[in-house]
Chain A
Amino acid sequence: QSALTQPPSASGSPGQSVTISCTGTSSDVGGYNHVSWYQQHPGKAPKVMIYEVSKRPSGVPDRFSGSKSGNTASLTVSRLQAEDETDYYCSSYAGSNNWVFGGGTKLTVL
């Protein structure tokens, strides 16, 4: 299966909102409500921020939200803070015990 498509970069000023898209196909993003988003700081392991398209694990700020329309999922980070500046990856279940990741988006807080 091919990687999900994410923009390489996104940016926003502190306090603003930014949305990162993640485009797949009907075999992954469009076919399952099993899209998750991971935050990865340099030199660290990924950390889940959103699961099942729009659910937040305990401890994740409500500034992070997710949605999906058709074959495209989105992560929105509201009220941007300096600590949000890092890499974000989407992931989708793709059936038959397989998953696929996006190429990653580097979020810059201006």
Chain B
Amino acid sequence: EVQLVQSGAEVKKPGESLKISCKGSGYSFSSSWIGWVRQMPGKGLEWMGIIYPGDSDTTYSPSFQGQVTISADKSISTAYLQWSSLKASDSAMYYCAKRSFTSNWFDPWGQGTLVTVSS
């Protein structure tokens, strides 16, 4: 079964750093793009960016460029999303999702990681 399992919920203070993870299994992790999506409380889905674990080729949405860093470690089949200095406005649910091998849609999705930033 193809599966993405994300790290657990985080509670952080403004200014702190954070790295959340997304571990893939049941397929060739290196050979499939992984995307990241933000969902703020009560709001819609927002595209953040995508990475190809095989060579770490990464594209960011213009809205998130410079705000986050997407990375991957293919040796442990894990993708990451990190912040160097969190803001309260980063509080949201974050999902990773696997791009189809052959087309531009995403399945499956991870279960989501809730990030809460509060002083």
Q: Do A and B bind each other?
A: yes
Q: Interface residues, chain A, CB within 8 Å of chain B? A: 1, 3, 32, 34, 36, 38, 40, 45-48, 51-52, 57, 89, 91, 93, 96-104
Q: Which of B27-58 contact A (CB under 8 A)?
A: 35, 37, 44-47, 50
Complex Cα distance, B50 from A103, in Å, reads 20
User: Chain B's nearest CB lies how many Å from the CB of A57?
Assistant: 7
**Cβ B109 vs Cβ A45 within 8 A:** yes
| Interface 0/1 of B64-106, CB less than 8 Å to A | 0000000000000000000000000000000101001001111
Complex Cα distance, B111 from A40, in Å, reads 12
Tell whether B24 is near chain A: CB-to-CB under 8 Å.
Answer: no
Number of A-B contacts (CB under 8 A): 63
Q: Please tell me the number of chain B residues within 8 Å of chain A, measured between CB atoms.
A: 23
Tell whether B16 is near chain A: CB-to-CB under 8 Å.
Answer: no
**Cβ B45 vs Cβ A97 within 8 A:** no
Tell whether B107 is near chain A: CB-to-CB under 8 Å.
Answer: yes
**Cβ A45 vs Cβ B105 within 8 A:** no
Tell whether B26 is near chain A: CB-to-CB under 8 Å.
Answer: no
Write out the residue numbers on chain A whose beta carbons fall within 8 Å of the beta carbon of B95.
45-46
**Cβ A103 vs Cβ B44 within 8 A:** yes
Known contacts A97-B59, A98-B61; A48/B45 CB under 8 A: no
> Interface centre among B37, B46, B111, by most A CB within 10 Å?
B37
**Cβ A45 vs Cβ B59 within 8 A:** no
Complex Cα distance, B105 from A104, in Å, reads 17
